[in-house]
């Protein structure tokens, strides 16, 4: 894709080619240190095997919307956003003890085979997975700095990388700190904002803009578009986590409920519930590992209270806010078209 026409599939192919080649080469170098490292190296390549590549796309259009042309070096820099995501996913699955991702065992599950001789197999596999996530984050920085863009361009984006890492880690910490506390919509939205929204849309856009030399007014427009859209993305994730089709999402059904995570969906359910319904939820959610019957009962309570509808409304409001901000932002027509399409893809998806 080198014209102004936005072709998502072609862009994904370009990003995949960069990621697969770069990570495969680095995984080979890693495994060459010792044959025992091969299973860990396999998890590095598995981490980038799939993905929508939305974060790379937002970085790319953060660059193009400034008026910069298509660039292979920029695609490499944008692809580094996907390595940040891959690192976050490995760590998130580890924290949440999620068994599946993209229909395959998560890193901390897959690596149990490599340490089956260990006296503490589960703990050892979790430690290896933590290091896989760390390695992916390091590779993200490496791919970005070796993208081929001029050093002066890269230096403009360096402070944003610091903010991205700080806010992402803060969001993960907030989710852990709020897990098990009384459901609260404002707190849940703050978790969503820092854990997902900022590094999914806002920060990639700003990094792409910084690389291209975007001015303050355009960056303000990116923030006004990116933050509500990122929140809509996470709210959709919340709905898919309990009401989505696992065959499409590739993740274990109802991980959020089983992990007692502070989602806006659960918080809205709690807010709308009366005393009897709250007691019912306490009983269902208080189980160490709710079975499918209990999960269906939670879904039934949520549907009766119309909590999923409420979250759908929250998504729609945020998408509209993002698109209104985009309309007010002075960007080329092809960039506006692409960013409008990306907004729809991010908020209205089945996986």
Asked if 205 and 58 count as a contact pair (C-beta separation under 8 A), the reply is yes
105: helix, strand or coil: strand
Asked whether the predicted pLDDT for residue 55 surpasses 90, the reply is: yes
Hunting for tokens 């796309």 — which residue is that?
57
Provide the pLDDT for residue 2: 53
Which residues, listed in sequence order, are joined to residue 105 by a DSSP beta bridge?
100
The percentage of the chain sitting over the pLDDT mark of 70, rounded to a whole number, equals: 97
- What's the pLDDT score for residue 210? 98
Euclidean distance between CA atoms 282 and 294, whole angstroms: 11
Spell out a b/e string for 312-339, using b for 16 or more CB atoms within 10 Å of the CB, else e: eebbeebbebbbebbeebebeeebbebb
C-beta neighbour count of 131 within 10 angstroms? 14
Looking at residue 285, its pLDDT comes to 81
Residue position matching structure tokens 């692409």 = 338
Q: How many whole angstroms separate alpha carbon 237 and alpha carbon 243?
A: 10
Q: Are strands 104-105 and 100-101 parallel, antiparallel or unpaired?
A: antiparallel
pLDDT at residue 282 in the model: 87
Question: What global pTM score does this model have?
Answer: 0.94
Do 70 and 221 form a contact (C-beta atoms < 8 A)? no
- Identify the CA nearest to 208 among candidates 77, 345, 22: 77
In three-state secondary structure terms, 100 is: strand
Q: What is the pLDDT of residues 91-125, one digit of tens each?
A: 999 998 989 888 899 999 999 999 999 999 999 99
Query: What average pLDDT does the structure give for the chain?
Result: 94
Mean pLDDT of 248-263: 73
The region of weakest confidence among 103-117, 155-169, 226-240, 290-304 is 290-304
Supply the Cα-derived Rg of the chain in whole angstroms.
Answer: 21
- Contact (CB, 8 A) for 15 and 56: yes
Could you give all domains of the chain from N- to C-terminal order, each with its CATH number? 8-347 (1.10.600.10)
Residues 57 and 75: beta-carbon distance below 8 Å: no
What are the helix (H) ranges across the chain? 8-31, 38-46, 54-64, 72-96, 107-110, 121-145, 151-178, 185-192, 203-212, 216-243, 246-249, 255-258, 264-272, 275-285, 292-305, 307-328, 333-347
Rounded to a whole number of angstroms, the distance between the first and last alpha carbons of the chain is: 25
Tokens 């939205």, residue located = 189
DSSP run (H or E) holding 101: strand 100-101
């Amino acid at each position: 894709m080198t014209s102004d026409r936005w072709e998502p599939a072609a862009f994904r192919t370009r990003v995949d080619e960069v990621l697969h080649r770069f990570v495969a080469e680095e995984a080979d170098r890693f495994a060459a240190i010792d044959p025992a490292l091969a299973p860990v190296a396999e998890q590095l390549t598995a981490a980038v095997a799939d993905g929508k590549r939305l974060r790379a796309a937002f970085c790319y259009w953060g660059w193009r919307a400034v008026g910069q042309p298509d660039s292979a070096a920029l695609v490499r820099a944008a692809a580094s956003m996907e390595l940040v995501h891959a690192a976050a996913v490995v760590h998130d699955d580890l924290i949440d003890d999620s068994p599946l991702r993209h229909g395959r065992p998560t890193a901390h599950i897959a690596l149990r085979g490599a340490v089956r001789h260990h006296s503490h197999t589960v703990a050892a596999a979790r430690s290896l997975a933590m290091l896989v996530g760390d390695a992916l984050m390091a590779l993200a920085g490496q791919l970005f700095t070796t993208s081929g863009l001029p050093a002066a361009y890269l230096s403009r984006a360096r402070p944003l990388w610091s903010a991205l890492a700080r806010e992402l880690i803060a969001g993960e910490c907030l989710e852990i700190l709020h897990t098990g506390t009384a459901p609260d919509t404002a707190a849940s939205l703050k978790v969503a904002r820092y854990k997902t929204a900022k590094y999914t849309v806002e920060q990639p856009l700003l990094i792409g803009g910084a690389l291209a030399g975007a001015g303050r007014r355009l960056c303000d427009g990116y923030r006004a578009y990116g933050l509500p859209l990122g929140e809509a993305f996470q709210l959709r994730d919340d709905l898919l986590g309990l009401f989505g089709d696992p065959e499409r999402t590739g993740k274990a059904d109802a991980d959020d409920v089983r992990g007692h995570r502070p989602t806006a969906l659960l918080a809205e359910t709690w807010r709308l519930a009366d005393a009897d319904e709250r007691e019912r939820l306490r009983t269902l959610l208080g189980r160490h590992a709710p079975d499918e019957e209990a999960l269906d009962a939670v879904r039934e309570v949520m549907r009766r209270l119309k909590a999923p509808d409420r979250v759908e409304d929250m998504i729609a409001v945020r998408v509209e806010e993002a698109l209104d901000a985009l309309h007010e932002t002075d960007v080329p027509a092809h960039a506006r078209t692409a960013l409008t399409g990306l907004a729809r893809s991010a908020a209205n998806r089945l996986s």
